[in-house]
A and B are shown apart, each in its own frame.
Chain A
Amino acid sequence: MLCAENLAVQRGSKLVLSGINLTLQPGEVLGVLGPNGAGKSTLLDALSGELKPSEGQVTLEGKPLSAWVGPERAQRLAILPQTSTLNFAFRVEDVVGMGRLPHATGRVRDQAIIAEALAAADAAHLAGRNYLELSGGERQRVHLARVLAQLWPGARGQTLLLDEPTSMLDPLHQHTTLQATRTIAASGVAVLVILHDLNLAARYCDRLLLLQGGRPHALGTPYEVLQAEPLQAVFDLEVLVQHHPERGHPLIIAR
């Protein structure tokens, strides 16, 4: 369980994030929404330990993040960055296999996990390909498979942080990717995902955090957060909120 208490981050003299109190619950998918520069990626960096908070702290299983030994932490906390700079001709399985580096489960088990994780990210057909020859969206799915493999098969006490995992994907794979996060959440993993698409957030997230200017504007279920007033306040966008005709979750339409 990842917990942020009264988290604040400063860049120079500017407070870029403040007043964050957040607990990622097992089995729950938490979506983070907000306009550009609202502090979404900063929040993810602070939660993953990449940025030192100027105030407050982040705990994993009740223990401060910095107190964890590297591999043990990596077995419980996986992070998918927005983009990857990998510039070497690994095979797709090798990239996914890096997710198994913190584990000592053996080659046979690892290979099985790699195959399952690739299938979960709808990237099984990419096995054997050279990573550098993949498209941006394919690469993104390979990295999703990598972080899934890192936590596979998923259990309570594990946390997955995803920074815009759908940014380069076609509509179908936006859905398969978020479906994969739902699946791993079902095993008990707590998931935090940064999203831009309000309707994807409405459909796949259990709770939503709406950030504005580095401060939480709203935190609650999609029904509570995705209302015309908060969206107008945060995105400066006038919207109509309807209900999905089949699934019932909120459906956001720009006016």
Chain B
Amino acid sequence: MRVTARIASLCCAVLLSQAATAADALPQRWVSAGGSITEWVVALGGESKLVGVDTTSLHPIELKKLPSIGYQRQLAAEGILSLKPDLLLGSEEMGPPPVLAQVKGAGVSVEALPTKSDLATLEHNLGRIGALLGDEPRAAKALADYKARLQTQAKWVSTAQADKPAPTVLLLLSHSGSSPMAAGQDTIGAWLIAQAGGRSITTHTSYKALSTEALLALDPQVIIFADRSIAGPEAKAALLKQNPALAATRAAKNDRLLALDPTLLVGGLGPRIPDALAVLGAAFYPAATPLTAVAKPQP
């Protein structure tokens, strides 16, 4: 009996110590580059581990207190090393490659995650972040919730579309209202429009400037505008002021100009996407019951 008890306690001790080493091996000081990846780190409870972020990591707002390592494509090795991280996590847009090699050479593990806007990529990324945080279950739950919300969204859209045809939607990315660029077919902007139940009416790829006449010819029912420097009603006023022709579109006449946070459009699927989809969906189908309490159409 005694012996078995001893062996049992010994086994427990070994197991415990192994568990302890596993926790020790997890990176404790993280530098994160790439907006939506940083958001996921925070969403999965890793905010306390972050010691530095890049200039595209803007959410949540508390991240601004952390040292900035500059733009994700133009990182500097020594700057990152000065933060004494043991992990540099970021999107595959991180660079330049020689700098990543230098950081790796200094013994920092470098993790570059893909940024494609689809669920398979998200599943992979959440899996990695969960493993690095040592909290896979939380990551798995977050993924399941995310998928469920998108499914609910899809169902809501098909119900809404049974009553009304999908509105034609144009997404414009602008800077203080000037030189708006329209989101093309392959952009996350078009994906957002489709998921929220709209029909994106552009035929080009990536973001392109459209002429005033082309805008009028498209005559979208809804215009989503994402402004990089100003937000809300001011951005709307600026957009209409800089582009008077917009006022002649159906969207403007019916006051269906919707603001969107431009940070949602970069770096793949972020945690705030389902909320944004609900808001957009509610605005696309004003007659339908909104999916969430937050998703009331904005004035």
A and B directly contacting (CB within 8 A):
no
Q: Which residues does B use to contact A, with CB under 8 Å?
A: none
